[in-house]
Structure 1
């Protein structure tokens, strides 16, 4: 029994159970190999079935053993996910900028209101229009002509 345990430890990572994400990544690598002409359609189909039936790391390693190593970032799905994450981050930053604009607009309008109430000459010129308007115009321009 002690001998069996030492054999399991020697294989270590090869016997670790794989996740759905790892199976999907292997499927993407196989598709890339097929697209490059490294696998026939029959080989691709057999290996793809093996990828989705895999339970441990060794099962996936066998499917990729005779294929060149591909960086994870070169896989089409990973590139698409990275682009989506970057786009979502850019949208969050853009909304954050609008929140800052709105907070400043409220603050400047409040200052203007206090000075208008304190003034005996009626309503003074609405000077906050300049910083609020220019900043808002820049944000709108960024929406239409900003970096993609």
Structure 2
């Protein structure tokens, strides 16, 4: 379907409501006067096609996405930190197991699997942070 055809397509109640919500937001932002808002709102609910709805909001900028709350941002930051920690752990595990494998092959037989010690301690620290939180001063001061 081309852009020219979409203007003739019939609009649904949801489409009209979406335009009405955008007009309400423009009124709240001070972009429309009450008279302009009322006129455009009447036109929006009387519109039958997309072509009639489009000009009602064409001179209005797109709404900025809502900024996430502090708690959501904090949770996302912690999640990214945990993912990075596990990625670092995995990379180090590959290197340490590779070193163990090379030394085992060079010695002619399997040697003690020493990578389990540093990797186990590191995994325990990451898991404790996951379960109990870091409790760091920087996290507490943001609350």
Give the TM-score normalised by the residue count of structure 1. 0.47
Give the TM-score normalised by the residue count of structure 2. 0.49
